[in-house]
Structure 1
Amino acid sequence: MTLPKLAYLTGEYPRASDTFIQREVAALRALGHEVETCSIRTTGAEHLVGPEQRAEHARTFKVLEACKQPTALIRAHLRWMRKPARYMRALKLAWTTAPKGFKGRLYNLIYFLEAGVLAAHLADNGVDHLHNHIAKASCTVAMLASTLSGIPYSFTIHGPDIFFEPHHWRIDEKAARARFVACISDFCRSQLMCFADQAHWDRFHIVHCGVEPDRYKPTDHETEKWVTELVFVGRLAAVKGVPLLLDALRRLLQPPTSDDPHHAFDEPPAIHLTIVGDGPDRAALEQQAEGLPVTFTGYRSQSEVAQILSKADIFVLPSFAEGLPVVLMEAMAASVPVITTRIAGVPELVTHGYNGLLVPPGNATALRAAIDTLVSDPDLRSKMGAAGRDTVKADFDIASEARKLSWLFEEYAAGRQPRWTRL
């Protein structure tokens, strides 16, 4: 059987913060799929940090850029108007799924215009199936493009933010109309089940985001290093909890007192923190970090992140809300023990005391104590790092996850309904 030709759509592709999508596309291509990449907006230059991003950016169809050409926009919609019943169904769907208020209606009509152009591009390129990541505005465009063109669609739902406004984004309607939904964790699947009709639950499949374990070579960390290297990788926004990490670091570096039960050292440890990423809170965080041994690097390419992780002793991600963070998988693949928060799908990846430490979200005292524990125990770091790499190789290898996704594309294309399985 010929593998279905795929198109992938996101709001911006590629982005330095969404390298897991690039890995998934590359893995599907390696399996023999043709994958046409599409992006609603043109990615900002700050995200094109490596050759992989620049190559993908060059080959990606930019929907808004095409919509700005009046002849392309008009030609696309005239094409679909030749099928008036289908065109009106799509227009009605855009209207009935719009968020309340004038602004919501206006945005959905804009998405409808974008969908016409995208649908024409997919049809012209012989695409058999459209897949979306994130499930927000770009998934609205995917749903409308599918209705216009008749090309089926599916999507990967991540969370957590989409579950804050599920009715706004009409994930119930998107799930009902999709051929299937890939959920990145059991927790994510359960959250979608809260809002979707039970009749559709058997089309919600667990397909993890994944990493290439061999990209992150485990490194023999020196047990007698003078400075313990901590690393954070992520978007510098409130949800990631970086202020708590800086607060915990500052407390850890204060001289210990006799009544402090959480301090393992007779004097402050030698620690350095590298913060990889960028975002709206960077300036405020740099100000908060003054006087601390912290380096801000901005966004870095996949290869550069792998290099930074190869020199790390501890990875810290103190997020308040997550789906199932790929960056934890990257650190674990590099045999780096992780400290993160006990939220959402994270415990499906990190087992407390085995391959990392889990702390309550928003608790700087517990975060400091966890960092203290690993800084003071190189042997424990080594054991947890090795266990973390084993976990990722077994359950979060992108090659294995892409095979699951490819199987779903094939089964549904053949008209078969796979029984729900955790795959």
Structure 2
Amino acid sequence: MSGPGRTRPPRTLWVSTSTRTQGGIATCVRTLAATGLWERWGVRHVATHRDGSRADKAMAFASGLARYTATMLLRRPDLVHIHMSSAGSFVRKAALAWLAYLLDVPVVLHVHSGRFHLFHDRAPAPLRRVIAATLTRADVVIALGELMRTRLARIAPDAHLTSLPNPVRLSPVTRRPAGAAPHVVFLGRIWDKKGAFALIEAWAKSSGGESGGHLTMAGDGEHERARTLARDLGVADSVTVHDWLSADQVAELLASADVLALPSENEGQPMVVLEAMSRGLAVLATEVGGIPELVTDGVEGLLVPPHDAGALADALGELLGDEARRRALGEAGAARARDEFAADAVAARIEGLYHAVLAAHGHPVPGPGATR
């Protein structure tokens, strides 16, 4: 317990999907937790979602809601940090946010979805009002980059918005042997919205297999469709399609690669792009969402318009045929990841937000190092 005149340690409640789920939010949460932020701010984590069937997800939310409510009532936190996406994720997290608002507990909303504005625009009018009110009532809303911040400002003009990049844990830079056959990796859901099938078509057009190169795709989604397309295009021998890989397997795969390809039709700030940059991979992606805030075309990678099969094939062919170009883009990406997106630096900015939010509420600002 805290002694006379001593400030008790902070109590912070984080809410997100399970850290064992697939996807960028879980990766972001794990990355920030590993910085020591959770220890410094006394974080308790409540998962309100997990992968699985509808029944599994319903049970996860019911269990998470019970734990959240008990924590709010019995061990009132100083601050709640809620990680949300769009659609069902927003609905679940909004309910939790409003409980905190009613109890006058400061709330940080962390919006991860690059499609949040589309979710809002397609929602019925009553839900649009709830979305705007939920964002406006929060003490601060974190957007992944300036483009997302601008989009959220159009939804909730009076919300207290800021932008932060996703964090990346710095990894050893990939150094493949000179002259090694190029290895291109795709990580993410294997479906049309991520450009997975367009990438296989571009691989065939750019004669990726004829160069001795290999394309490896890993993620959940339509695996058999991808394998069938590769066979139909005559590139099955140079294309491997995996199910979702563990974090260790992803690290091993990235360490063997030269290029990360992610030709999505929409994105926020994909964690996989940051992970690839930190390892010194050249990035081939579409100029959508927050990607141009991570990758400058011609500097850390090559960006092409979405749904432009010709541009994608041309850019892929350029990278496959020029080892020096791949290395230069990868080295620039590693430098930028180290300078701008390192997890410790992002965690420090989040701590700054916590101090500002608590000070605005007139609370004594608990600081790391207080006696428990």
What is the TM-score when the length of structure 1 is the normalising length? 0.74
The structure 2 residue matched to 1:147, chosen from 79, 88, 101, is: 101
- 2:226 maps to 285
Which residue number corresponds to residue 218 of structure 1? 173
**Displacement, 1:181?**
0.6
Match of 1:64 in 2: 62
Q: CA deviation at 1:29?
A: 3.2
Partner of 1:19: 27
Contact 2:174-2:257 at 8 Å conserved across structures? no
Correspondences of 1:194-213 after superposition (within 5 Å)? 194-197=154-157, 199-200=158-159, 203-213=160-170
Shift of 1:320: 0.3
CA displacement at 1:27 relative to structure 2 = 2.4
* Equivalent position of 2:78 in the other structure: 128
Question: How far is 1:369 from its partner?
Answer: 0.8
1:7 to 5, 13, 22: 13
Matched residue, 2:279 = 334
C-alpha displacement at 1:164, in angstroms?
0.8
For residue 177 of structure 1, what is the aligned residue in structure 2?
A: 137
The AA in structure 1 aligned to 2:77 is V
Match of 1:268 in 2: 210
Q: Secondary structure at the match of 2:253?
A: helix
1:230: how far off?
0.6
1:81 maps to none
Distance 1:30 1:158, change over 3 A: closer
Distance 1:317-1:42 versus aligned 2 partners, 3 A rule: closer
Native 8 Å contact 1:118 1:145 kept in 2: no
2:111: which partner in 1?
157
Q: Which has the larger radius of gyration?
A: 1
Contact 2:187–2:217 (8 Å) recurs in 1:
yes
Distance of aligned partners of 1:174 and 1:274 in 2 relative to their CA distance in 1, 3 Å threshold: same
1:105-142 deviation line (CA, Å, top 9, x unaligned): xxxxxxxxx4x762223332342211111241232122
CA change 1:151–1:416 in 2 (3 A) is: closer
**Deviation readout 1:138-196 (Å, 9 max, x if unpaired):** 32122222134332222111232221121546331111110101111000000001111
Q: Aligned partner of 2:116: which letter? A: I
Stretch deviating more after TM superposition (172-181 or 9-18): 9-18
Aligned in 2, Cα 1:364/1:217: closer, same or farther, shift over 3 Å?
same
What secondary structure, in the 3-state scheme, does the structure 2 residue paired with 1:414 have? helix
What's the secondary structure of 2:142's corresponding residue?
strand
Distance in 2, matches of 1:286 and 1:366, equals 23
Deviation at 1:375, TM superposition (A): 1.1
Identical pairs, percent: 25
Distance 1:30 1:9 in 2: 13
Instruction: Tell me if structure 1 keeps the 8 A contact 2:97–2:107.
Output: yes
Q: 1:41 pairs with 43, 46, 49, which one?
A: 49
Q: Give 2:244's match in structure 1, choosing from 299, 305, 310.
A: 299
Name stretches of at least 5 consecutive residues in structure 2 with no aligned partner.
1-6, 54-58, 363-372
Looking at structure 2, the residues matched to 347 and 405 of structure 1 have their Cα atoms a distance apart, in angstroms, of 23
Distance 1:145 1:287, change over 3 A: farther
The number of residue pairs the alignment matches comes to: 335
Are the counterparts in 2 of residues 276 and 296 from structure 1 also a CA contact under 8 Å? yes
Match of 2:153 in 1: 193
Q: Deviations over 1:236-279 (max 9, x none)?
A: 2332110100110111228xxxxxxxxxxxx9311211112113
Deviation at 1:31, TM superposition (A): 5.9
How far, CA to CA, are the matches of 1:273 and 1:338 in structure 2? 14
* Partner AA of 1:288 in structure 2: L
